[in-house]
A and B are shown apart, each in its own frame.
Chain A
């Protein structure tokens, strides 16, 4: 018999699922109303959609392992919760797409599965975040595993992982749209450099100067080198998340390198907000997600 880190009543579970659904819708409504995401369901190769599903499951595992669950949850429990969140993502995506008339009996099964899959991934991440962050805090057993109290140093790799979750959450809302391509096409190299420098400046502002809640707990400080490392790492995570999301949405296929780099820099601007401010918000407060 499997032993878990907690027991919940059915009523508590229902409340948790409700928070998850609310969180999923909060973070993914822009995508549910974006035509390019609907179309990506049939434009993209099924293998790429499958890759998106697998990567999202990995992100859910990362988030649940480091932020969403109590630190005594084992890998099996993390996997079970991640599977639940992804399943809820599928159901919510299908429900909203049907409600808005995007899927119906007129479509082929391939079209419906593709559309629902592309929408469900961001919803699933939102479900995970909503479940963990939107409840009433009952105790101090949530938060990054290993960071037991405010005096302990934040852990580097877990923070990088959570930054990646935040970056993907922000980047996914924009990556599928044509606007990223248009901005990249119309931007000169000097303008792209300016966007890059502005992104770095925003990262520094959010992590070190703006006094964001949680920055004293989750951002490494102590020396100029640590601060610089954090800033560079956060932006690198944003660039990686942007490249990945653009690739998954087919925006980089058969494009010249110059345009590829331009799109990544353009998308990294919102992604870095997720990697920095989003990372802190994802770890702020939170319920006893058990």
Chain B
């Protein structure tokens, strides 16, 4: 049936159009509300990084250390440099990796590896530096 445009009849939207409109309205208004709430009520605070080291994976010549870093602050951090130290009888070894962006409240995962067959007594991780974009 061709679309009707007779001005003497009352023209209506069909059920599909109304459904699309309602769902669209929900998406748009809920997104706008969420953004408005963030914009108006969230207090700005600098990035606050938290590091957790996972269970070390040991192979013949390598120690792999999973790392999880979380930004608890309310600001994005960029170029976040993660440093992990491995302390052994031979001294301290350092491995690093960089997270390009760590958004607020976000978590990112990575890992570092150390080569050698000596027993490693202690791993520690820290954020060596970051910048604020």
Contacts and interface: CB of A to CB of B under 8 A. Distances in A.
Given A50-B39, A108-B103, A110-B104, A8 B24 contact: no
A13 B12 CA distance: 12
A14 B32 contact: no
Interface in A46-66: 46-47, 49-50, 53-54, 57
Interface residues of B, number: 39
A39 B102 CA distance: 10
B17 A39 contact: no
A4 B3 contact: no
Contacts of A85: 24
A3 B10 contact: yes
In which size bucket is the chain A interface? 35 or more
B114 interface: no
Contact of A47 (B21, B27, B39): B39
Interface string A99-137: 000000011111101001100000000000000000000
B44 to A, nearest CB: 9
Contacts of A153: none
A17 B20 contact: yes
B59 interface: no
A4 B11 contact: yes
A90 B101 contact: no
Interface string A29-58: 000000000010011011101100110010
A290 B3 contact: yes
B16 A13 contact: yes
A5 B11 CA distance: 6
Nearest to B13: A4
Contacts of B35: 46-47, 49-50, 53, 113, 117
A210 interface: no
A10 interface: yes
A10 B18 CA distance: 11
Q: Which 9 A-B pairs have the closest CB atoms?
A: A87-B24, A47-B39, A46-B38, A42-B103, A50-B35, A46-B39, A7-B11, A46-B35, A7-B4
Interface of A: 1-10, 12-14, 17, 39, 42-43, 45-47, 49-50, 53-54, 57, 70, 72, 80, 83-88, 90-91, 106-111, 113, 116-117, 141, 288, 290
Interface of B: 1, 3-5, 7, 9-17, 20-21, 23-28, 31-32, 34-36, 38-40, 42, 76, 101, 103-107, 133
